[in-house]
Chain A
Amino acid sequence: MQNKNHVISVLVKDEAGIVSRVSGLFSGRGYSIESITAAQTSEKGYARITIETSGGDADVIEQITKQLNRLIPVLKVVDLGDVESIERELILCKVVAKDEDRSEILRIAEIFNAKIIDVTPRTYTLQALGDERQIRSLIELLRPIGIRELVRSGKVGITRSNQFTTKAAE
């Protein structure tokens, strides 16, 4: 069975160099980063870094969470795959808008609840929000029409319970 991607949510002290500390750990130990996002949380002085990593078996994911926990400014690490959670990603996609394709683009946008946020004589730019499956399907459908540029936010996720429960380090 192929290893699925893991989304790891890391609560950190929001201090200079924190993203570098976390991403440096990944590169230094040979863990992959598929996407990484970082921003402040509702509480001042804390930030959340969400990292999507691929290619790791359970042992690797265990090491990643432990190694992250070892960093002093890291307060909590949650493997969102271990708990009930919701994941979302935002994409902006500029597609070639030939006359004969325009209605098709609009139809696809409607299906995926995507918005056309910019129009030029030759392109439409779509904004879409969804989970991994939705985003993948949307990109697959847009690809034959002609994707000029694709920008992805990287995944963010949130647990369903009100607790930011951690998988015990043990």
Chain B
Amino acid sequence: MDEILEILEKDARIKPEEIAKMLKIKPDKVKQAIKHYEKEGVILKYKTLINKELVKDDNITVRALIEVNVVPQKDVGFDKVAERIYSFSEVSSCYLISGTYDLLVIVEGKDLNTVARFVAEKLSPLEAVRGTVTHFLLRKYKEDGVVLKCKQEDKRIAISY
């Protein structure tokens, strides 16, 4: 992966000038590259990773991982079914996977009831859906490579040879 992307993946707020300094290239070159990546859809969005364990959000308190068994459709395979499912705003992630089921769908909701209702009323009735298994998420430890813990202090002694 391009080093510019590597740097941005770790810190989306870093300025092009700073990246230029780190890589010893011209700032314009960095800006150009970023523009190109944005246009090509390589860079989709800049967002903030929030430790939701520490903030209260009344709209989302329950998360569920749902295994979905589906019947693939002619010509479009799983894609069409997936689209019907991930288009619901309740769905935060949707993956096609190998193994005993086909789609892994992550759903977020206000409470247990909301999620249960989503499964019963929106997901299960879909013609292509053969069955679902819902796992409620109890705790997040690590997400996208980041351990969800308060910052650990530096254990090194402050000065050494």
A and B from one complex: no
By a beta-carbon cutoff of 8 Å, the part of chain A in contact with chain B is none
By a beta-carbon cutoff of 8 Å, the part of chain B in contact with chain A is none
